Amino acid sequence: MAAFSMRFMVILLLTMLPDVLAQASALQKKTAQKWTAQEFQPSTLNLSEQMQEMSWFIEASKPYQGMQIRVVSERIATHWYEASVLAKAFFEITGIHVVHELTGEDDVIKKLSAQILTGQNIYDAYINDSDLIGTHFRSGAVVALSDFIKAEGADVTLPSLDLQDFIGLKFTTGPDGKLYQLPDQQFANLYWYRHDWFNRADFKSAFKSLYGYELGVPQNWQAYEDIAAFFSEDIKEIDGQRIYGHMDYAKTDPSLGWRMSDAWFSMAGVGDRGLPNGLPVDEWGIRVEQCRPVGASVRRGGALNSPAAVYAVDKFKHWLTQYAPEQASELNFTQAGQWPGKGIIAQQIFWYTAFVADLTKPGLAVMNSDGTPKWRVAPSPVGKYWQGGMKSGYQDAGAWTLLKNTPLKRRQAAWLYAQFVVSKTVSLKKTLVGLTPIRLSDIESDVMTERAPYLGGLVEFYRSYGREVWTPTGTNVPDYPGLADYWWQYISQIIEGKVSTQTGLNNFAAAVDRHLARLGESAPGRCAPMLNPLSEKGFWLNRSGSPKPAINEHPAGKTLPYLEAVDVWK
Amino acid sequence: MSGNSKNSDHVNLLSNQINIRLTSSCKAAVCIFLLLLPVFTLRAEPINILTYEESPYALMVGKTQKGLLVDMLAELFSRTSLQYKLRFIPLKRAIITVERKSGYCVLPIVRSQEREANFQWISPMLVSRYGLYSQEKRSIPLVTLNDARPYKIGSFLGSGIGEYLTDLGFDVQLTSLSALNLQKLKRGRFELWAEDLISAREMMRKQGIKFGRPELVFYTSIRAMACHRTMPVEQLKELHSALLSMYQDGFMKALYLEYGVEM
């Protein structure tokens, strides 16, 4: 009797199962409709296309329902939106619970390294800056997404993902042609200035009489320095408030290293011509031959302690101490980010556009009452070693990264979430929240045209060639986690006055060379480092390209009106 | 075996060796002493490691030091030529001591970007997951961390996770000791308690309080050993290399299992 009852119950359940599943699926679709109509607007897709994507997610997620997935990213507005809103939507729509953790980028890198080192599956996916592309393609620890989506990831890859729509794919592709990371958010480092102050007739006239040329967007470092001196030393106060012609940060902290490695050396002209990072010497001063890093010091063909690098650091230190607020030397990246919004800074040589959302909040001292900003972003001025055809600045591309030691099922579920937060259904809304665009379709949308006057030049930048020449760290850097720490540790010694700039950079370059040698010995491979022999310093300096010999001339300051300055991006 | 007893044996042995040689010939003894001086100096100065009571990681049972970290440290140092002394003091004081005094380390602490430049690091020592617990009879469903924003969250002074939540703008109430938070949660002084899962389970067991499973496991930290900035590079390398070998040969996995946790 009991066996009969059990059999009956099983048959009953099996009979009911399709109905139950259909009801659950209908409920998920209803939930998706709610999210699509109430949250995922505007979108470059129409409502019906959005629902097609959502229906695909519902179906593809079925084998993973009930799982809890853990991912991690840095702490910027875009990721906060993902962690708080999109993860919740994804859970309600698919039944996969994603815990999207937020932390500092430095910590993201340390966690990723720890997972590779220990083999413990700490996270199922990482949103990690594409600066690590040189590490990832060499490591053998990172899943090549271009392989994954054709094989074990095929059933969980969104048919309308449209990879070609992503503007940052070249930053996440290795020299082997494989895609290792999928961009999730991008932001650039651009020149930031008070457009309203620069257009004041009294300031324009005073600047011209003092410096002999027009006050405008600086095209070179001399002009930037003149403008810094003009506001910090000549103008000094506006409406009784102390103002400054320069802002920066220099606390001994990992973010001091990024200040240098992200763009400073590339703007100075330390590297070679050639995009995205300069070939054969990149903006880190590392020379590669084929794909092998062969040295960072001048005596091995690198440029990390070259005259251009000394010039770059000297200018950083001089402007910091001479023109920035006194507190600047004690601030880190996050703390300094709030300063332009106070309304006392005239210009900043480069400024992370990840802060656009924060700096366009109504009521700020740098906002007009009609919602337009008093500031603009423009191409950063370049140093005297910079030449046409070189990288012009830094762009950050936070990108989805899967590790091979994550169990396949967890990796597949995480990949579903990764695609959800970059899907065309949600990406335009996410772009409007965090202002870190990744898709060409979003950038070219009418919605962004309407928003452009309120974003200080961000849209103009992303619609231009600028997005190609503002680039992340490239493939010359074979061990970003291991080498990135050297930047702040050695540069801080120079900033604190413990060593001269040349000595500090010599020490730094020697440390990088030693690190490259160790890497080459510990993990030999086709693209592993192999140091050039030591040569006389003049050997490399007398050849064309980087490392470049000292330039003793001081170019005259050059500025352009805003509209002409942004024409450079076209 | 605790790290302390191992270390004192080692120091005594070295002292005995030197005493014997001094009595045989003064000249030879001076030479030998000078030869041994660098080694002796290195070995005679054990690294002072500070930790705080956080069962089951580190705890005092009578006069004996016990716990996962205590065992881990013993193994770590046994794979190096270095010695150590382990002491228990409150976390906040431990961190300040290590910031100020060379020859000191503290563990386990969260290796955050803000702390990075203040110390030299040996990592990863512990991978910890943090949860938000509610009262047993009051369910607070949380899908994302942001869902916890309307509530008061309990943590303890010096805790990295408390700092993290405060930085994110949450209403965090700090106590001097983590163990006090259980009673506070029970009495409704705050609605959610933020704690590392393993410690929380152990504290609940000890205090006979059941909050059940956390409402949300919201954060993962890599906890590390932070040492004074002047720690010699050679010592750091030796400790790093020993730590890596403990992961690679399966020691860590076995140790975690011994404490009922899967890595």
pLDDT value at residue A567 = 86
Q: Is the dihedral of CA A283, A284, A288, A292 positive or negative?
A: negative
Q: Is B126 on the interface with A (CB under 8 A)?
A: no
Q: Write out chain A residues lying below 8 Å of B146, CB-based.
A: 83-84
For an interface test with A, give the residue of B72, B99, B112, B113 to mutate (most A CBs within 10 A): B113
Antiparallel, parallel or unpaired: β A97-103 and A68-74: parallel
Question: For tokens 């970007």, what's the residue?
Answer: B113
Of all residues in chain A, the one with the smallest CA distance to B241 is A117
Q: Residues A512, A395, A403, A55: what is their CA dihedral angle, to the nearest 10 degrees? A: 180
* Cα–Cα dist B22/B27, whole Å: 9
Could you count the other beta carbons within 10 Å of the beta carbon of residue A58? 21
- The answer to whether the CB of A181 falls within 8 A of the CB of A418 is no
Q: A186 to chain B, minimum CA–CA distance in Å?
A: 21
CATH superfamily of A188-253+316-395: Periplasmic binding protein-like II (3.40.190.10)
* Cα–Cα dist A222/A497, whole Å: 24
- The answer to whether the CB of B126 falls within 8 A of the CB of B147 is no
Q: A115 to chain B, minimum CA–CA distance in Å?
A: 10
The reported pTM is 0.87
User: DSSP assignment of A387-450, as one string?
Assistant: -TTS--B-EEEEEEE-BTTS-HHHHHHHHHHHHHHHSHHHHHHHHHHH----BHHHHTSHHHHH
Mean pLDDT, 10 residues at a time, chain A of 570 residues: 56 65 84 98 98 98 98 94 98 98 90 89 96 95 98 98 97 95 97 98 98 98 98 97 97 90 93 94 96 97 98 98 96 87 96 90 95 96 96 94 97 98 98 96 98 96 92 95 93 96 98 96 91 95 96 95 88
- The answer to whether the CB of B153 falls within 8 A of the CB of B194 is yes
Q: Which of A84, A118, A120 sits opposite B146 (nearest CB)?
A: A84
Q: Which H, E and C letters describe A261-292, residue by residue?
A: HHHHHHHHCCCCCCCCCCCCECCCCCEEECCE
pLDDT value at residue B24 = 45
Please identify every stretch of chain B with a pLDDT value under 70, giving residue numbers as ranges: 1-44, 260-263
Q: Among 3.40.190.10, 3.30.70.1230, 3.90.228.20, 2.60.40.10, what is the CATH number of A40-185+396-469?
A: 3.40.190.10
CATH class of B128-221: alpha beta
pLDDT value at residue B235 = 95
* Cα–Cα dist B61/A369, whole Å: 66
pLDDT value at residue B253 = 87
Cis link prior to A218 (omega < 30° from 0)?
no
* Cα–Cα dist A543/A517, whole Å: 24
CB contact under 8 A, A118 and B145: no
Residue A474: which residues within 8 A CB-CB, separation 6 or more?
A133, A134, A276, A277, A282
CB contact under 8 A, A72 and B220: yes
Q: Which of B113, B124, B145 sits opposite A114 (nearest CB)?
A: B124
Angle A194-A198-A201 from CA coordinates, rounded to 5°: 145
The CATH 3.40.190.10 portion of chain A extends over 40-185+396-469, 188-253+316-395
* Cα–Cα dist A383/B255, whole Å: 55
Q: Write out chain B residues lying below 8 Å of A104, CB-based.
A: 112-114
* Cα–Cα dist A377/A195, whole Å: 9
CB contact under 8 A, A107 and B124: no
How many interface pairs between A and B have CB atoms less than 8 angstroms apart?
A: 76
Q: Which fold has domain B3-107+229-258?
A: D-Maltodextrin-Binding Protein; domain 2 (3.40.190)
Closest C-alpha among B130, B89, B97, B94 to residue B109: B94
Please give the backbone phi and psi of residue B141, each rounded to the nearest 5 degrees, phi first.
-65, 125
ipTM for the complex? 0.86
Residue B132: which residues within 8 A CB-CB, separation 6 or more?
B140, B142, B148, B153, B192, B193, B194, B214, B215, B216, B218
Q: Where are the domains of chain B?
A: 3-107+229-258, 128-221
* Cα–Cα dist A539/A164, whole Å: 44
| Cα A100–chain centre separation | 19
Q: Do domains B3-107+229-258 and B128-221 have the same CATH topology?
A: yes
Give bridge partners of residue A173 from the DSSP assignment.
Answer: A179
CB contact under 8 A, A254 and B111: no
* Cα–Cα dist A422/A519, whole Å: 35
Please report the residues numbered 67 through 96 in chain A whose beta carbons come closer than 8 angstroms to any beta carbon of chain B: 68, 70, 72, 83-84, 87-88, 91
CB contact under 8 A, B247 and A117: yes
Please report the residues numbered 51 through 70 in chain A whose beta carbons come closer than 8 angstroms to any beta carbon of chain B: 68, 70
Q: A112 to chain B, minimum CA–CA distance in Å?
A: 11
* Cα–Cα dist B47/B37, whole Å: 17
pLDDT value at residue A12 = 61
Closest C-alpha among B167, B192, B190, B49 to residue B114: B167
Q: Which of A68, A87, A114 sits opposite B222 (nearest CB)?
A: A114
